[in-house]
Amino acid sequence: MNEFLTPKQIVEELDKYIIGQHDAKKNVAIALRNRWRRMNAPDDIQKDIVPNNILLIGSTGVGKTEIARRLASVADAPFAKVEASKFTEVGYVGRDVESMVRDLVEHSVKLVKNSKQAEVKEKAEQLVEDAILDILIPPIKNPSTSTYAVADNGDTSSISDVEMNEKTREKFRDKIRNGELDDRMIEIDVKQSGASAIGMVAPPGIDESSLLGIQDMIGNMMPSKNKKRKVKIKDAKKILMEAEADKLIDMEEVKEIAIHKAENTGIIFVDEIDKIAKSNKQGGADVSREGVQRDLLPIVEGSTVNTKYGTVNTDHVLFVAAGAFHVSKPSDLIPELQGRFPIRVELESLTNKEFYQILKTPKNALTKQYAALMGSEKVDLTFEDDSLQAIADLAHQVNQEVENIGARRLHTIMSRLLNEFLFEIPDTIPPDSKLVVTKEMVESKLSDMVKNKDLSQYIL
């Protein structure tokens, strides 16, 4: 997908994976389209147009994380997911709040690098073929005056040893392309970075991403070594492909584009923001939570963060925060942070109607995932329609009677329903078998989940 999608088109894309929550989809679609609108606005006002950050309010398993993740996928935008409760608090050493921006830039660099590798793929494949051919049939460095008689269509002609070598190489090139030599073993040189030999433990207060930056810096100062490895040609293609593609890519350009992409299209999803909201009590943990909020505030407001790829400004990064807010409420956040999330969307609790659609409609529906797993063993898994309704009804009932964990309850039920079959394949259930899940099967296998009011073993 690209960033030129209209809000309605964005919602249509989200609908392929997320059931319901139209209000939330509508708001995130507008926020995403506004990124494109800002970048196409007059230059003199572009910097003043700030994103409308969004606060998603809803219980667990209703789709908050999935909405943010799919939004980034639709926009092909850098995305970072963090949990607010893991950041540095007063009296507690957690993650540095700036690490969320470093994570965002890392993802942005990966996106741009993959895009650049795709551009040079054809040239890199040619270089990889040449490298493998040089190992199998080295080119002649000191050509002799020898000639060979070659029969071609009944006519005999003479060619030099250089021409003969080239003809043989071309024949083998075709074999490499066709995969005929994939299982043949060859010895290749693999470049090893100096950083791989360095083991470091993060001291208190130092974030893991910062530690990786230090390792990279020290590694770049150390000489790299080549190590010989014996691998199959099909594995050599992958190893050499990455190395050759990296040589063709200008990493300075990648860093520059990645930082621009992170600054202008990046999305940071701050989950569990309700865990750092202060309650009515004063002191103790509340002081600690408020400290985290004040640490978060400058990042959300817009500040400059140092990363190993350069400085990144967060003025136009879109922040999507989410929380259940069962104990606390959004107004328990400090006023400054509340003001930075002007768009508030309350997500609806899921009913058996939504559960039925979740099992049936999305591209990545659980039923399709299990069918794919069994399909890998050549077992055909299908679900009758009324069996899906029975699963949906059971998930809704258990959520009401025990604890509402939203769509995650479906994972528990599907696992309980199908684990026995997964265990029996392929020993008892052979390939080319067909499994049909019926309403009666669901009721017989899962009836104890309804009878047992404790249900502790089934709670995720």
What is the CATH classification number for the domain harbouring 286? 3.40.50.300
Which residue, among 293, 261, 257, 296, has the nearest Cα to 100 in the 3D structure?
296
Assess whether pLDDT exceeds 70 at residue 348. Answer: yes
Based on the fold, state whether residues 306 and 157 are members of the same structural domain. Answer: no
408: closest CA among 356, 450, 355, 362?
355
Find how far residue 311's CA is from the centre of its chain. 24
- Over residues 217-236, mean pLDDT: 73
Same domain? 204 vs 293: no
Phi/psi of residue 249, each to 5°? Answer: -95, 140
Confidence of residue 146 (pLDDT cuts 50, 70, 90): low
The per-residue pLDDT for 224 is: 63
- Tell me: pLDDT of 284 over 80: no
Residue 220: pLDDT above 70?
no
Question: pTM for this structure?
Answer: 0.77
317 phi/psi in degrees, rounded to 5: -75, 135
Give the pLDDT confidence score for residue 132 in this predicted structure: 85
* Angstrom distances, CA of residue 354 to CA of 39, 299, 349, 392, 403: 37, 36, 9, 8, 17
Is 101 in the same domain as 37?
yes
Kindly state whether residues 336 and 364 are assigned to the same domain.
no
Give yes or no: residues 230 and 294 share one domain: no
Please indicate, yes or no, if residue 454 is contained in any of the structural domains: no
In whole angstroms, what is the distance from residue 445 CA to residue 156 CA? 77
Clarify whether residues 222 and 287 are in a common domain: no
Interval 255-278: pLDDT, tens = 999 999 999 989 999 998 988 887
pLDDT for 460: 42
Q: In which domain, by residue range, is 228 found?
A: 121-248
Domain count, the chain: 3
- At 287 the pLDDT is 57
Same-domain check for residues 370 and 399: yes
- Position 119 pLDDT exceeds 60: yes
More confident residue, 67 or 208: 67
> Helix or strand or coil: residue 215?
helix
Q: Does residue 232 share a domain with residue 128? A: yes
Residue 2: inside a domain: no
If you average pLDDT over every residue of the chain, what do you get?
Answer: 82
In a domain, 453, yes or no: no
Q: What is the pLDDT of residue 311?
A: 92
Q: Which of 346, 365, 383 is the last residue of a domain?
A: 346
C-alpha dihedral over 35, 39, 42, 44, to 10 degrees? Answer: 90
